[in-house]
Structure 1
Amino acid sequence: MACLHDTALFCSLHDPATNCPTGHVTNKTVSVWGSGGRIEMTAARFIAMQAVIQPDCYQSMADGETWQTNTSRKRVHKAVNRTLAHLDECLTLHHKTPQLKHTEVFGVVEGGDILEERVRSARETAKRPVAGFVLDGFQSAAMEQELRGQLITAVTAELPVEKPRMLQGVGRPDEVIACVEAGVDLFEGFFPFQVTERGCALCFDYNVTPDPEAAALSPPTVLELNGERPAVEDPKQNDVGNTGTMTQFEINLKDIRYREDFRPLVEGCGCYCCKNHHRAYVHHLLVTSELLAGVLLMLHNTAHYLGFFRALREAISHERLQDFKTTVTKVDFGGRKQLH
């Protein structure tokens, strides 16, 4: 129905853009949430659904309800055991399902914020015949970036380097870069959707200037042109899990200052919105609640985010990740992160 031809299709267990209620995981079932409410899934029902969708890969069932702070060690231990049991059952049914012979399974690494449980989960999952790994429970709202980096580094050290590691619940550009440094390979693309829902446009620099002299002659930043301030000056205040909280990587096009701003959302952007419309028009669509506003913003935000990842891959291949990180997370002399 979505006509996703020549596209890798990955099925996650939950929608990364929404928070799922807790308390609905058992030793035999997990619960997923849709427009009609809660749906309880046994392994048989879960695999039957995958057989209909026939994705390229999907994550196994898991008990991911231990990402909240102050979860007891006993509960985290139980969650790891449940997740491994769900994985074993899913793998058994997967190999008995002919429709899934070309589909791969990703095992889920749980463990909350307890290092020993994270390492145990990673080691045991790596023993199973999985094609990759999903690192769950590291959502931006769940833990500090420093602790996340320490745990991910310890987990990836236990996983085979030839199999991809996907991280769930992290999408902010500075956090993405930090997680790449810790060993993550794949990310979910929910962040542009959340930015769009806020009526905002991604507007930050991710181009690494090869010539230091050219960098000194670069044009003024968006902030210098508009007199804007960063949406959030303290990154610790950001909560990507909350659709209503802006980040320092976006501009709020509902703001009245854009009413007569006839520039594209981002100078030089090649997306449909930036090539055909300007900020004032998108501002008008937003304040009049036109559905086209979300369409245009989603086109731009997706293109900008994909451009960020292309630049990130190029920076890694040319061993310029630190230069890239400096560009994306650039600070002024006052220590404030600025948009570009």
Structure 2
Amino acid sequence: MKFTVSSVAKSTARLGSLSEFTRIPDAVLETPLLLLHTRGASVPHLSYDLLQMVSTESHILQMPLVTLVEHTKNVKTFGKGIAEFAGLKEYLNYVPVQDSGTTTPEGYHEKNSISLWTRGGRKLIDPQTYITCIEALKPDMFQAIVDGDTTSNSSMKRVKRSVDDTVKFAGICANLKEKSEVLKDTPMLACITGGYNIKERLRCITELKALNVAGYVLEGFHTNGESATNLIWEDLEPVLSETLESLPDNRPRTFHGPVTPIVLLKLVSIGIDIFDATFPWLVAERAGALVFPNSLLKGNAPITETLPSVKFPIQIKLGEKDGSLENENSKDELVDRVFEINLKDKLYFNDTRPLVEGCSCYCCRKYSRSYVHHLSATSELQGPILLMMHNLHHYINFFRSIRLAIRQDQLQDLHSTLEQFVTSRRS
């Protein structure tokens, strides 16, 4: 894999591209890049045909090992890798360790392994077992095994342990990768951990410099799921800024998790290159439709005065009847719905407008808010399908607008547009 930085904006936001993948050498993907999130090697709620209706462009699918580890024996027996096994061979794929859209339980640490929380329960996985799984999956890119179990509240002992284990695991993975006939040409991303401690993050970078890796993943800021949505930029910014200054410019930087669009823009502005599509999926899971302005074009801006006001934060008990999330995320999360509308709200019972005026997605062209409200209120299977199609389309266009804004030096304008939208909904 080759990563090229084509330009750097005044804000240090970067335009670049990923190319020269072994399996699909003609593929060129522009950065900032959106990874399409999958669970069990399938984009949630979308079949292959529906995914093609959302976008026919080239994408990289994010396939978390935690959702595949119980199936690696079958994939190995199949012999052609997860891409062909899942019927998605025209898409590149990337295998991280954890599912960044689902909260990872804290604790449960072992000396030489990490915990994967699968549908069948907790599974311990060490670097050797991990590389064996990766060999079976034959991904186009993968993440080194990592201990990213830190938050802003973690003790210094836990932070140091996360760095020690991450460096140790990365070294073992790199050594096993070089010896593997299957993986020796597959790019591996190393992980930078250390919680919110700048000194420990710099130590992690220093100790990883000896490894030949294709890029870096900024881990250890959250425990995935809604905890990423609740990240506070003022806490993140000083740690990330110093961390990124110490990383080589010719390697892509990845930040996993369903961060809000505003935080995502700020991450782009300081030089992060790769993100995932867990945010639009989580919104669809709680019967939400993304309505935030995803472009600087006036015709694409939603009419904010027609949208209900949203207070911050909103506490939703997961599993209640009000359209809250019903997945593996922890209960009592704070869910901010300022970027979306809740289609379970009776406000949309007779609303014949599309989810977003001017949106060209299949859902907005064919169906009304009233119809999607009916599907969501009655828990029809088509509800999350249509919402996922809309949300993913909306987010893909958002990233297209981000790249255009960097190219035209208008990233701050896009950020200001989002801030104004949020302010209007808070009033």
TM-score by length of 1: 0.88
In 1, the alpha carbon distance for the partners of 2:355 and 2:230 equals: 32
Aligned residue among 305, 327, 340 for 1:224: 305
Q: How do 1:245-324 and structure 2 match up within 5 A?
A: 245-324=335-414
Structure 1 residues 126 and 177 mapped into 2: Cα distance closer, same or farther (>3 Å)?
farther
Q: How do 1:1-340 and structure 2 match up within 5 A?
A: 1-67=85-151, 69-139=152-222, 140=228, 143-209=231-297, 221-226=302-307, 228-229=308-309, 231-233=310-312, 245-330=335-420, 336-338=423-425
Structure 1 stretch 136-145 or stretch 14-23: which is displaced more? Answer: 136-145
| Corresponding letter in the other structure for 2:113 | T
Residue 212 (structure 1) aligns with: none
In 1, the alpha carbon distance for the partners of 2:232 and 2:197 equals: 14
In 2, the alpha carbon distance for the partners of 1:131 and 1:236 equals: 40
Q: Is the 8 A contact 1:248 1:337 kept in 2?
A: no
| Corresponding letter in the other structure for 2:176 | L
Residue 47 (structure 2) aligns with: none
In 2, the alpha carbon distance for the partners of 1:224 and 1:72 equals: 45
| Corresponding letter in the other structure for 1:174 | I
Which structure is higher in strand share?
Answer: 2
Q: Cα RMSD (Å) of the superposition? A: 2.4
Write the deviation string for residues 246-297 of structure 1: whole angstroms up to 9, x where unpaired: 3311000111111111111111111111111111110000111101101110
Give the gaps of 5 or more residues in structure 1: 210-214
The Cα shift of 1:80 comes to 0.4
Give the gaps of 5 or more residues in structure 2: 1-84, 223-227, 317-324
| Corresponding letter in the other structure for 2:392 | T
| Corresponding letter in the other structure for 1:22 | E
The Cα shift of 1:142 comes to 7.0
Q: Is the 8 A contact 2:291 2:340 kept in 1?
A: yes
The Cα shift of 1:219 comes to 9.4
| Corresponding letter in the other structure for 1:105 | M
In 2, the alpha carbon distance for the partners of 1:121 and 1:170 equals: 24
Q: Is the 8 A contact 1:198 1:246 kept in 2?
A: no
The Cα shift of 1:174 comes to 0.3
Structure 1 stretch 244-253 or stretch 39-48: which is displaced more? Answer: 244-253
The Cα shift of 1:23 comes to 2.3
SS at match of 1:329: helix
The Cα shift of 1:222 comes to 3.2
Structure 1 stretch 14-23 or stretch 193-202: which is displaced more? Answer: 14-23
Write the deviation string for residues 93-135 of structure 1: whole angstroms up to 9, x where unpaired: 1111111133111001000111100121123224311101010
The Cα shift of 1:169 comes to 2.1
In 2, the alpha carbon distance for the partners of 1:36 and 1:190 equals: 22
| Corresponding letter in the other structure for 1:165 | R
| Structure possessing the higher relative contact order (Cα contacts under 8 Å, 6 or more residues apart) | 2
Q: Is the 8 A contact 2:290 2:340 kept in 1?
A: yes
In 2, the alpha carbon distance for the partners of 1:138 and 1:74 equals: 16
SS at match of 2:191: strand
In 2, the alpha carbon distance for the partners of 1:76 and 1:295 equals: 40
Q: Is the 8 A contact 2:313 2:336 kept in 1?
A: no
SS at match of 1:62: coil
Structure 1 residues 74 and 83 mapped into 2: Cα distance closer, same or farther (>3 Å)?
same
